[in-house]
Amino acid sequence: MTAYIVRRLFATLPVMAVVAIFVFFLIRFAPGDPAAIIAGEDATAEAIAQVRMKLGLDRPVLEQFAIWSLQLLQGDLGISIFSNLPVTRLIAQRLEPTLALTLSTLFVAVALAVPIGVVAAWKARKLVDRLVMGFAVLGFAMPVFVLAYILIYFFAVQWRLLPVQGYAPIGEGFWPFVESLILPSVALGVTYMALIARITRASMLEVLAQDYIRTANSKGLATDRVLLLHALKNAAVPIVTVIGIGIALLISGVVITETVFNIPGLGRLTVDAVLKRDYPVVQGLILVFAGAKVLVNLVIDISYAFLDPRIRY
């Protein structure tokens, strides 16, 4: 197993290299010029050229790439064109809100979706099941920003139970931190909850029809043991796969949620950087996102071996 993990970690290097090359050239081929933005609306061509030279953007693209790659190998993501701050520091500053939002969303989604999926499968075709599946369709069809505004309207504006928007770092107290995360997590989580609940139900239904569940019932085991150990452990591989896909989608999904709820995280940083064509920041962010997705994939793959003893690496 250890050998497998090491091998997989090495295999991520070429993936990251391809991502690095791709993002570097893609953003340079996109229309828009950071020098023009910095120089201002009324700037002359000379002024723009001067800014471009200062930023090193007048050099051949391949040379720029070589410089950036060498920095990258030393763990240096470069310096933001606009704020003149190191990209690593910019990302580090914005990491906590995004991490907190992603994890709390995941927690909300998984902690609710798996139990309701199990119950829906157990009570298949009964009222509970129909309610759950109806909710799943609705939750899946609802755009995040629509739901977010509905939630803000009722919970924050009308009933004043939770803050409208903003983020309270965990360093400023646990309860304000949690409060600031509830609405965004629910808004962002409902889609994944619907997705995970559906997969859990489908996977459980298939497993509940298996011979070994009949065996478990013939032993007179308690219902919770049959459902949560005998069935759910067998149903887990597809569920975990979807949770993994969910995490990957979530990382991209936070961009919208952070904007709606005014949370200063990586999503907001990305939007700002892309609009300004802040090349080093965009490059750094995409590498971080890609790295996160590769890591999630690895964790999911490893978890299979713990869930199903027939899977060996």
Partner 1 sequence: MSGAPGPILEVRDLHTQFSTLDGVVRAVDGVSFDVARGETLGIVGESGCGKSVTAMSILRLIPRETGRIASGSIKFEGEELTSLSEEEMKRLRGHRISMIFQEPMTSLNPVLTVGTQIAENVVRHLGVSWKQGRERAFEMLDLVRIADSRRRLDEYPHQLSGGMRQRVMIAMALSCDPQVLIADEPTTALDVTIQAQILDLMIELKEKTGTAIVLITHDLGVVAETTERVVVMYAGRKVEQAPVEALFEEPLHPYTRGLMRAIPRLDVEADAAGTRPRLQEIPGLVPILTQPIVGCAFAPRCSFATDRCRNERPPLVDAGAGHLVACWEVDRVRRAA
Number of H helices, E strands in the chain: 13, 0
The reply on whether position 89 binds partner 1 by CB under 8 A is no
Minimum distance from CB of 123 to partner 1 (Å)? 10
Range list of H helices, 74-173: 87-122, 127-141, 144-151
Which of the ranges 37-45, 148-156, 168-176, 206-214 carries the binding residues for partner 1, by CB under 8 A?
Answer: 206-214
| 7 sits near partner 1 (criterion: CB under 8 A) | no
| Binding of residue 5 to partner 1 (CB under 8 A) | no
Task: Give, as one character, the DSSP assignment of residue 93.
Answer: H
Residue from 56, 173, 214, 252 in contact with partner 1 (CB under 8 A): 214
Residue 160 or 310: the one with the smaller Cβ distance to partner 1 is 310
Closest by CA position to 132, among listed 111, 117, 142, 112: 117
The distance of closest approach from Cβ of residue 236 to partner 1 in the complex, given in angstroms and rounded to an integer, is 8
- CB contact set of 269 (below 8 Å; sequence gap of 6+): 90, 91, 94, 281, 285
Per CB under 8 A, 312 contacts partner 1: no
Residue 1 in the binding site for partner 1 (CB under 8 A): no
Nearest partner of 132 among 81, 75, 199, judged by Cα: 199
By the rule CB under 8 A, 160 interacts with partner 1? no
**112: number of CA atoms within 13 Å, CB side?**
18
- When asked if residue 234 is in the footprint of partner 1 (CB under 8 A), the reply is yes
Provide the binding-site residues for partner 1, judged by CB under 8 A. Answer: 124-125, 210-212, 214-222, 225, 229-230, 233-234, 307-310
